[in-house]
Structure 1
């Protein structure tokens, strides 16, 4: 492997996916960037699809794909209205992406993921938690929703309490949940990051 994907949690999700005897198809909702995680699934024989709303992130993923000879099938799209048929994809994830929306739009997106996911299929979604040091910063636009500056752009960050995500998964089986609090140096400053990760299965 000539590259390193920086989200180890997605390697855990890959291990979960490998446990199930479903068609090896996977969708990344928020798939762009310098090192698109779809590449690790492609290396394990998965048919990959990705949607990304940001043109510059799509271009970065295209450069990566050309450099490493991957066909990841990443196109412009909005996870609030996925361009896929009902129950057509075995595995879906949205990692470090879905919380850049209001809670209303997060609900729309998760409902779309459920629609596209095959029965018995598995998805991975994570939320920002109230323990994140960014919580409360910026302009509040809704309950625990804030416009904040990220990489020079004004972006929504939405924060969840520890059990709030379960409201989205009442009709699904929770296979894994982790409340993560990280401390690291970012741009010379010590920051705290809080995430709540879920791996859930669509019931038959």
Structure 2
């Protein structure tokens, strides 16, 4: 049975990666869960690496790997301090993860991603936007930052305004950007989700 990854944007990123010609190494920052997207890359011949800060999410990824007899190289780690050498990974993505921290830490995390990326390498990063239905709810921590309840846990959600996240990619070449609003049924209720996705390339040194 074919396994379908839940995030269609991962398939788009894989297409960009396949067309780049760089060595097939990929890092997922926030790689845990019961259906790790790294599985898609592994099946396409990539050497995979993943970091995950949540033990419970790590356990789910490990159970998936054992069930499907695959080693995705997912370990405990923090996106703000990646355990990889400078310019050592061709492709890095953080999807549905980086907005679970304050904006100051988001900046640190993206600098780490850029440090580890090879010249000509690409990253995929998505952000929550102020168009999201949960924006401005919960305990406010800072501008666009809130403590909110998600699946019974208290988590940080940071939201960006129109083009606010562009600043993180000023020293890169943005290959793709999509600002989108989704309406879907979640746990029996209609919800509104706002995201902006970026695929960006690290410029080669002159």
Matched positions, count: 204
**Partners of 1:2 and 1:173 in 2: how far apart?**
34
Partner secondary structure for residue 98 of structure 1: coil
> What does 1:26-175 align with in structure 2 at a 5 Å threshold?
26-175=26-175
- Displacement of 1:161: 1.1
Shift, 1:2, TM fit: 3.2
Per-residue Cα deviation, 1:148-171 (whole angstroms, up to 9, x for no partner): 001111100000012011100110
- 1:11 matched to which residue of 2? 11
The DSSP-based 3-state class of the residue aligned with 1:131 is coil
Between the aligned partners of 1:166 and 1:11, the Cα distance in structure 2 is: 23
Which digits, 9 at most, give the CA deviation of each residue in 1:53-107, with x for residues without a partner? Answer: 0000000000000111111000000000000000000000000000000000000
Distance 2:192 2:70 in 1: 34
Give the TM-score taking structure 1 as reference length.
0.99
Q: Distance in 1 between matches of 2:101 and 2:16?
A: 27
Q: Distance in 2 between matches of 1:19 and 1:200?
A: 14
> Which residue of 1 is the match for residue 194 of structure 2?
194
Structure 1: 5+ residue runs without aligned partners?
none
Q: Distance in 1 between matches of 2:98 and 2:192?
A: 19
Taking the aligned partners of 1:154 and 1:177, their CA distance within structure 2 comes to 30
> 1: CA distance between counterparts of 2:90 and 2:166?
21
Q: Distance in 1 between matches of 2:70 and 2:35?
A: 12
What secondary structure, in the 3-state scheme, does the structure 2 residue paired with 1:14 have? helix
Measure the CA separation in 2 of the matches of 1:84 and 1:172: 20
- CA–CA distance in structure 1, aligned partners of residues 126 and 80 of structure 2: 16
Q: TM-score under structure 2 normalisation?
A: 0.98
Quote the Cα distance in structure 2 between the aligned partners of 1:111 and 1:68.
Answer: 34
| Structure 1 stretches of at least 4 aligned residues deviating more than 6 Å after TM superposition | none
Tell me, in whole angstroms, the C-alpha distance in 2 between the residues paired with 1:14 and 1:174. 16
